[in-house]
Structure 1
């Protein structure tokens, strides 16, 4: 039976990505959905992009755009950067591109330019990097950048009074449009967790790989998951986004 797996924020940690794919025993018929933030943090951002481009030649892959991917895309295209990006992992990406030739950079630009803002599967399961603000769903988002920047969807799910039923007026409208929503962007380490967290119908699979946590891959149907070693242990001489 073909399976669908969702992968959290990678942040330049190729070693962790290779670990979780091996541990989950992915078959050639499975679908892999990556939730974005492939770059910025650990030292292998260019190598992560190379790996993903090669992977899609042999596997069914869906690549969602993260906010860090947007930053990197702009930098590769125009040299644009800002202090926020540099502080939160962008400098590690710039350093990692030293010695990377123009042809490879163009290939990476093409890959980053084709990333999706979201993916909705046939079972009404939504996959996106961050969240959305429209009460009517992602298709009606007025500010597309919110799809890879918003944190209020996750905050809403976390703070929801579970005694409120979905048919009550007080129930958040954003949560009613989809069977399940899978996100990254806001690491669950912020609430003291190191494994995927479910709140309402939202699953957060960013387990803090950019910081002190592991990278996670999860079977979207069974919710079984596999994790890398804590990423900082795989890159002991680096700081990641710490």
Structure 2
């Protein structure tokens, strides 16, 4: 299937916000829109992945569908919207669809739809009945998903969920390759327009200091904005705010829902931090502890303490959820978003950057 490209006009007198990869986290979406004081004067672009990875996908989709009745919104299809459409079109082999659906359960939109339609989809034999029931019960939602384009093309911007290899002949590109374009920034592309993408959590680009804030590359005209909402324990939902004039400065706001507390002591940053992230997280456990475990990170050979309940077992051995040994630079009196408190200190965030704060905390 080829990419669907639609022209986009953005009035100069209106604020334009761009978000991506909500993954069914309706509280984060509402929290972010409240934080940015989203109004009917604004324009909101949603770059896909409204669905999947959480049980709130359908509620989030319906919330945005209702919001567009009173506000100006534009949407792109992400690979996670395509999951539902591919299932309904029979694009997946039944066994692959069954494996995906059984793994994600109610966090998968088409599984949730099937269950609401009264069809158990644990067995592929039920798929034909499930497809028919979903089409009958969710016509408005499915029409909305199917109407989403792959690319929105503006004079100064190209919006796409995953990424593109070029700015010309876009209609000849594979739609799926535009939506699921992993590690897009590592491909070396440069553009004349600003290409704004989601899909790949930006923290995956940082081997040292974990950061979830939008990653802007002015020399290449790329903005990557996926803050790891829902997928990461310290994730956030970002809103990139486009400059009012071409060539102006971007800004952003973010929402992560964590409690805010005040640092009561200063702390210097650690000099050589490590960001253990998806795809680079294989470990050897040296000493298993109740709260922390001493581990060796296989890729770098570094030894560090990992939260024990972040450890996982996979087909290739032990790995962990995103972890770091980074100590945040903190000045007494600064406010920190607290991801988790432990006996050794707090895993915290400051301006989208995650690290450890070992000092005392006071009420926010």
Per the normalisation by structure 1, the TM-score is 0.77
Which one has the largest radius of gyration? Answer: 2
For structure 1, the 5+ residue unaligned runs are 158-171, 232-241
Q: Give the aligned partner of residue 56 of structure 2.
A: 44
Deviation at 1:52, TM superposition (A): 1.1
Give how far 1:12 is off: 0.9
Bigger relative contact order, structure 1 or 2 (CA pairs below 8 A, ≥6 apart): 1
| C-alpha displacement of 1:147 | 1.1
CA distance in structure 1 between the partners assigned to 2:252 and 2:138 by the alignment:
33
Give me the whole-angstrom Cα distance separating, in 2, the residues matched to 1:20 and 1:114: 25
Aligned equivalent of 2:253:
226
What is the aligned counterpart of 2:216 among 198, 207, 210?
198
Q: Residues 183 and 200 of structure 2 are in contact (CA less than 8 Å); yes or no, is this contact kept in structure 1?
A: no
Match of 2:36 among 17, 21, 24: 24
Aligned residues: 213
2: CA distance between counterparts of 1:120 and 1:107?
A: 26
Find the partner of 1:185 among 199, 202, 216: 199
Q: Which residue of 2 aligns with 1:118?
A: 151
- Could you tell me how far 1:99 is from its partner in structure 2? 2.6
- TM-score normalised by length of structure 2: 0.53
CA distance in 1, matches of 2:163, 2:177: 7
Q: 1 or 2, which has the higher helix percentage?
A: 1
Give the one of 170, 175, 191 matched to 1:176: 191
Question: Residue deviations 1:68-115, cap 9 Å, x none?
Answer: 100112335659662674488575124543336866521111010001
Q: 1:34 to 1:201 in 2, by over 3 A?
A: same
Question: What pairs up with 1:86-101 in 2 under 5 angstroms?
Answer: 86=101, 89=104, 91-93=106-108, 94=110, 96-97=112-113, 98-99=115-116
Residue 55 (structure 1) aligned to one of 44, 52, 67 = 67
Residue number in structure 1 paired with 2:307: none
- 8 Å contact from structure 1 (residues 35, 63) kept in 2: yes
Aligned partners of 1:90 and 1:185: how far apart in 2? 21
In structure 1, what is the equivalent of residue 141 of structure 2?
108
Q: Is the 8 A contact 1:64 1:118 kept in 2?
A: yes
Contact (CA 8 Å) 2:79, 2:180: kept in 1 or not? yes
* Structure number with higher strand proportion: 2
Which string of whole-angstrom CA distances, capped at 9 and with x for unpartnered residues, describes residues 2-36 of structure 1? 11110021111111111111111112021111010
C-alpha spacing 1:216/1:88, structure 2 compared with 1 (3 Å): farther
- Unaligned segments of structure 2, at least 5 residues: 1-12, 118-132, 244-248, 259-320, 322-364
